[in-house]
Chains A and B, each alone.
Chain A
Amino acid sequence: MTTPAEAIASPRPMTRRRGRIAIVRTGLGEMLGRRELTRYLVGAELKRTHADTAIGQLWWVLDPLLQMAVYYIFITIIFASSQPDYPLFIFVAILPWKWFSATLNEATLSITGKQGLIRQVQFPKIVLPTAAVVAGTVSFVFGLVALGIVYVFYPSRLSLWILTIPIIAAVQFVFTIGVALIFAAANAFFRDIQNVLRHFLRMWFYLSPVLYSLDRIEKIHPSLHTILSLNPMAVLLNSYRSVTYGTSPPDWAGLLVVLGFSFLLMLVGVYIFKRAEPAFARIL
């Protein structure tokens, strides 16, 4: 008979043990090197979303606007919010939040949704979650058109600081990639993740300053404020809000910290993903 002890102890294939740095380097290389493949996958993804709807790509603009309308009606009428220019106030946070949550959802399903392909073609699987994040970014950019529409009603809130949006978005992009890679890999092993994710994201949404500002929390509950401030999304949303609503610079220091953290998270994400990758074809 075979040696069962060895077999049980190593559920993974006996790949040549490479250094962690080498694994991460390979993963990053694949992520950046297969741009052509990523481009086609993003194109396909964008064609797929809303392809079967009557007004098609217009939904990218309409969707955040409708979402804002729902929250606006809900919050102002029921809770009588005193925040001035509340529609703009929430819209500038809904937009990046939608980008983050929709992308994370897509990326989580990117491996399990392509099982046919993974079992048929040899290619670096890391391009799948990467393409999901890039496709989400494209729809975020379209969403900025909607922001322009909202500004028509609040011209006094417009300042040159909005030109820093790409910088904040870049930090968010790195953060999203890191989270997305981990979720995509984990979901291949446990489909529970995709179910939990919905609720997890909803909770994260309410714990992030989308419908409220953290300043308000600080007055009511200082210790809660400290905890909520540790959320990278809070730093990002605050910065978006500063530059689009507060006519003031973003939280540079906070962004720098989040960027550093996100970068580390991305390296960890690449490592985890690359370690899980050889198993995908066997377990899907």
Chain B
Amino acid sequence: MDAAPSPTGAGSDVETAVEIRDLGIRYDLRLTKRTTLKGSLAGMLRHDPGRENHFWAIRHMSLSLAHGESMAIIGPNGAGKSTLLLAIAGILEPAEGTIVTRGKVSTLLTLGAGFENELTGRDNIDLAGAFLGIDQRQMDELTPSIIEFADIGEFIDAPVRTYSTGMRARLGFSIATAITPDILLLDEVLGTGDQTFRARSQARVRELVGKAKAIVLVTHDLSFVTEFCNRAILMEKGRIIHEGEPAATVDFYRQRVAEQKILAEEEAQRFARPPVIAPTS
């Protein structure tokens, strides 16, 4: 951690793909999914100073990722893993701190997010390219290899609504990786598909790592982390609590989960055995 680049050293860290400094991502609880005018007016009227109306999904996080690194983010649900990916992708803006990315970021996080059901697989490849801002000519060049890798046969000319979950994921993964991003962000996706596709997608990820592309991957599959990544961070409650070699981080996490499990069991037992009260009759 002492080797953190100096704020002025823009030239010295050319190799970094992602540079995160003191990142804070905040969700406003007043404006969430089910906000209605009434609710928010009522909220304004009874201003409750004791109640927090925002929530920091990530706070005071600093991190840098070099090209060629493949970093796994592990941790319990709600740790802020996906939020971190969204922030690196530029989908969520930081409330505090900065994120600098160098190179093309692939933002197809959950594969097949942008698919239009009525369009064919082929049209959806073009649509995805348009979303990512890749020009038509380049997309035309990539299309054959995308179709080949997705391996969905004649379905490529059928509307995407007819696809199985696995087929959608395969096409999505194929698009996300075919555009050879400099920084590839993957959110819990490598577990999808059958064994063969899994093996092939693993090979693809290795290839991208080999091409000095940076990868950030959120997963709950711990064996995957040690197999694929050359670095891992463990997040909890919006902070990094462990960082280092994948094997070491995974061990640390396993240990921590085990400890928490014991604590939880003790807690449960305390509740399960209510204080003995003399029977009333």
- CB-defined interface of A94-132 with B at 8 Å, one 1/0 digit per residue? 000000000000000000000011111111000000000
Segment at the interface with A among B27-35, B233-241, B252-260, B267-275: B27-35
Chain B 24-44, CB-CB to A under 8 Å as 1, else 0, gives 001110111111111010000
User: Is there an interface contact between A8 and B53, defined as CB atoms closer than 8 Å?
Assistant: yes
Provide the residues of chain A in CB contact with B126, threshold 8 Å. Answer: 40
Verify A121–B35 contact, CB threshold 8 A: no
Alpha-carbon distance A284/B40, docked complex (angstroms): 16
- Is residue B116 within 8 Å, beta carbon to beta carbon, of the partner chain? yes
Q: Mask for A42-81, Cβ within 8 A of B = 1, else 0?
A: 0110011001000000000000000000000000000000
> B133 at interface (Cβ–Cβ under 8 A)?
yes
Which of A173-181, A187-195, A198-206, A258-266 lines the interface with chain B? Answer: A187-195
**CB-CB < 8 A to B92: which residues of A?**
281-282
Those of B47-86 within 8 Å (CB) of chain A = 53-54, 56, 86
Contact between A116 and B36 (Cβ–Cβ < 8 Å)? no
Q: In the complex, what residues of A have CB within 8 A of residue B244's CB?
A: none
Complex Cα spacing A192 to B38, Å: 9
**Is residue B184 contacting chain A, with contact meaning CB distance below 8 A?**
no
Give residues 229-284 of A contacting B (CB, 8 Å).
278-279, 281-284
Are B30 and A11 in contact (CB-based, < 8 A)? yes
Cβ proximity bits B97-137 to A, threshold 8 Å, 1 near / 0 not: 00000000101111001101111000100110011110110
B93 within 8 A of A: yes
A37 at the binding interface (Cβ < 8 Å):
yes
Set A15, A121, A190, A282: member contacting B36, Cβ < 8 A: A190
Question: Which chain B residues lie closer than 8 Å to A123 at the CB level?
Answer: 131-133
Question: Do the beta carbons of B95 and A13 come within 8 Å of each other?
Answer: yes
Contact A48 B118 (CB under 8 A): yes
In contact, B93 and A15 (Cβ under 8 angstroms): yes
A116 touches B113 (CB 8 A): yes
Do residues A51 and B36 form an inter-chain contact, with CB atoms below 8 A? no
With both chains docked as a complex, state the minimum distance between the C-beta of A201 and any C-beta of chain B, in angstroms. 18
Return A104 CB to nearest CB of chain B, in Å.
19
Do B131 and A281 touch across chains, with their CB atoms under 8 A apart? Answer: no
Cα of A51 to Cα of B159 in the assembled complex, Å: 11
Q: Are A191 and B36 in contact (CB under 8 A)?
A: yes
A11-B28, A14-B95, A283-B31 known; A117-B113 Cβ under 8 A: yes
- Tell me which of A51, A116, A282 has the highest count of chain B C-beta atoms within 10 A of its own C-beta: A282
A279 lies within 8 A of B31 (CB) = yes
Supposing A11-B30, A283-B33 touch, asked if A121 and B114 sit within 8 A by C-beta, the answer is yes
Q: What is the bound-complex CA distance between A268 and B67, given in angstroms?
A: 42
Check if A227 is an interface residue, CB within 8 A of chain B.
Answer: no
Q: Which of B26, B54, B86, B123 contacts A40 (CB 8 A)?
A: B123
Number of interface residues of B (CB under 8 A): 45
Which chain A residues (1-15) contact chain B, with CB distance < 8 Å? 2, 7-8, 11, 13-15
Are B114 and A120 touching (Cβ within 8 A)?
yes
Task: Say how far B162's CB is from chain A's closest CB, in angstroms.
Answer: 13
Which residues on the B side are within 8 Å of A39 (C-beta)? 130
CA–CA, A247 to B28, complex, Å? 57
- Indicate whether A216 reaches chain B with its CB closer than 8 angstroms: no
Q: Point out the residue from B27, B37, B108 that lies within 8 Å of A190, measured CB to CB.
A: B37
With A40-B126, A283-B32 in contact, do A121 and B131 touch (Cβ < 8 Å)? yes
Q: Given A44-B116, A122-B90, A282-B92, decide whether A192 and B36 contact each other with a Cβ distance below 8 A.
A: yes
Chain A nearest CB from B35 CB (Å) reads 6
Residue A25 is within 8 A (CB to CB) of chain B in the complex:
no
A13-B94, A14-B96, A119-B86 as given contacts; A43 in contact with B107, CB under 8 Å? no
Q: Are A43 and B130 in contact (CB under 8 A)?
A: no
Among candidates A121, A191, A278, residue contacting B107 with C-beta atoms closer than 8 Å? A121
Measured in the bound complex, the distance between the Cα atoms of B29 and A34 in whole Å is 33
Min CB–CB distance B244 → chain A (angstroms): 29
Residues of chain B with a CB closer than 8 A to A11's CB: 28, 30-31, 54
Q: How far is the CA of A14 from the CA of B22 in the complex (A)?
A: 14
Give Cα A117 to B116, complex, Å: 10
The answer to whether the Cβ of B91 comes within 8 Å of any Cβ in the partner chain is yes
**Complex CA distance for A208 and B131, rounded to whole angstroms:** 38
B: residues with CB less than 8 A from A are 26-28, 30-38, 40, 53-54, 56, 86, 89-96, 105, 107-110, 113-114, 116-119, 123, 126-127, 130-133, 135-136
A-B contact pairs, 24 of them (CB 8 A): A11-B28, A11-B30, A13-B95, A14-B95, A36-B130, A36-B136, A44-B119, A48-B116, A48-B117, A116-B113, A117-B114, A117-B131, A119-B86, A119-B91, A120-B113, A121-B108, A123-B131, A190-B35, A191-B35, A279-B28, A282-B27, A282-B28, A283-B28, A283-B31
6 closest residue pairs by CB, A with B: A120-B113, A37-B130, A44-B116, A13-B93, A47-B118, A192-B37
